[in-house]
Structure 1
């Protein structure tokens, strides 16, 4: 067994809105540095925990967790195209193992993986297909959300499965940190928006363009301290990173949705992907982690964080 972890924030706005050059250069340089580390590590398999932003998962059937046995890029923000390189037999075995360990997980032979999955693969590996990848969706946008304590159990089950594998494995957590994009909330939007949240797969190019322009406009306004997006919260973000660095995962046994929303905003719920990733690493034994980067970038509506860790158990 050989396990390495990288958790990163994502923001599809990186290619559309640019903060001050030094801020953007430093962030992109660290992504490139981590990508070089991935190349050196040369994983034989990636397990990727990520959210969805109403591009692939909708209220017509919203699971708390879903493992992709086959998966295709959703095509949002023009990040990635075609199928992911999913090792089907291993993904199928993972589903059986997780369910047998008392975590009810859905599975899909037609998962649509949006930018929460595709952007970290592009940034860290250069392609959505370079390495065999098992995508694991964690609902972080559609209320009611899975409690963080259940996310810990999911990560623990996945980690115990990985600990029994012979491959060199990279675990990725993709999301957050404090992050408040204009995600519509069911129950407080017009009927036509509710219908989109229920069954909005495969939108027209025009509908997708309008939706993405709304997000971009929120980023521009946040950078000017205007608009409706909640301000980023570096104190909350750095406190979470310290929890992960110090192996203090018990913090998440009692973390509530209200706390996440108050401090991290609507997209702060994506911290669930980091929780699952670190829980999977911890399930394999002791680990050593370090913070690689943090900066609140309003233009990208994200407290941009990057953390890496390695299992200390051979």
Structure 2
């Protein structure tokens, strides 16, 4: 029937290390307006492209892409916990259709996700269980990483599948833009951390989870004081990226290497491939018109924070 898209940065740091009240009110207003537009659209199905931060996906098996046949959120950093309603038969049909198009897509019947999935559902829909969801994981932190081209092709294939459904489809993307919080890396991990990255972190003990969250909070506080303590945010590049999406120039990103993206925007900026996949999915409805563009660098959240809606021009 029809489609609507919203891309939104997420942050685990909201409520822990917040910007000035005026900035927080500004972000809240942007999200509330997006929530209103989505309510007016009244979606019947959500396609959610999001990353993970070593809470559900680990190096025991690290797919570039995975579609959940069933899904639950762990509730890290006070994000919502619980089951995300996945229409299993529809998810199975979607996975088959995508793989028939030559896109390698893993599936999971016990997908575990974190705030990257939970936050957009909570902020934009009011909960995890308001609308059936096709949850699509895109690896944004664990090398080797998928590139922009593969993310675009994945989105296009999913878009063609859901376009054939007689439903109002909300396409969501969660992540980025420029940022590099202290996410561990396998190449430099201690023996204990290596064991966690290899899968031991899936059921992380409560004390270790608190320590992990405390490290992120501490890093954010240092970053506010010294924005070279981590990879600096890059508002110029972030805005150029958003403009590419608005203008439908997704394929121009195909030749950008992962190393180049890390260098210009930080190692966690690979989450923006969720935005590319989302716009690629929307392309199944033809040319689009964006609206309500918002961007602000927010050091307190270690993020170039963005929000963008779009819908088909012929809607």
Q: Deviations over 1:180-218 (max 9, x none)?
A: 110011111211111111111010111101001111111
Which position in structure 1 is the counterpart of 2:89?
Answer: 89
Q: Hey, which bits of structure 1, 4+ residues long, moved more than 4 A? A: none
Which position in structure 2 is the counterpart of 1:244?
Answer: 245
Conservation of the 8 A alpha-carbon contact between 2:227 and 2:299: no
Conservation of the 8 A alpha-carbon contact between 1:45 and 1:170: yes
Number of aligned residues: 314
Following superposition, the deviation at residue 107 of structure 1 comes to 0.5
Following superposition, the deviation at residue 74 of structure 1 comes to 2.0
- The 3-state SS of whatever aligns with 1:15 is coil
Following superposition, the deviation at residue 169 of structure 1 comes to 0.5
Consecutive unaligned residues of structure 1, counting only runs of 5 or more, are none
Following superposition, the deviation at residue 174 of structure 1 comes to 0.5
CA distance in 2, matches of 1:284, 1:259: 31
Which position in structure 2 is the counterpart of 1:230?
Answer: 231
Matches within 5 A, 1:167-186: 167-186=167-186
- The 3-state SS of whatever aligns with 1:169 is strand
CA distance in 1, matches of 2:48, 2:214: 27
Which position in structure 1 is the counterpart of 2:31?
Answer: 31
- The 3-state SS of whatever aligns with 1:107 is strand
Which position in structure 2 is the counterpart of 1:119?
Answer: 119
CA distance in 1, matches of 2:248, 2:114: 30
Conservation of the 8 A alpha-carbon contact between 2:46 and 2:134: yes
Conservation of the 8 A alpha-carbon contact between 1:241 and 1:291: no
Following superposition, the deviation at residue 291 of structure 1 comes to 4.5
Q: Deviations over 1:58-101 (max 9, x none)?
A: 00000110000100112211211221011111111100100001
Consecutive unaligned residues of structure 2, counting only runs of 5 or more, are none
Q: Deviations over 1:24-61 (max 9, x none)?
A: 11011111111111111110010000000000000000
Which position in structure 1 is the counterpart of 2:295?
Answer: 294
Following superposition, the deviation at residue 311 of structure 1 comes to 1.4
Following superposition, the deviation at residue 259 of structure 1 comes to 1.6
Return the TM-score normalized by structure 1: 0.98
Conservation of the 8 A alpha-carbon contact between 2:70 and 2:108: yes
Which position in structure 2 is the counterpart of 1:71?
Answer: 71
Which position in structure 1 is the counterpart of 2:216?
Answer: 215
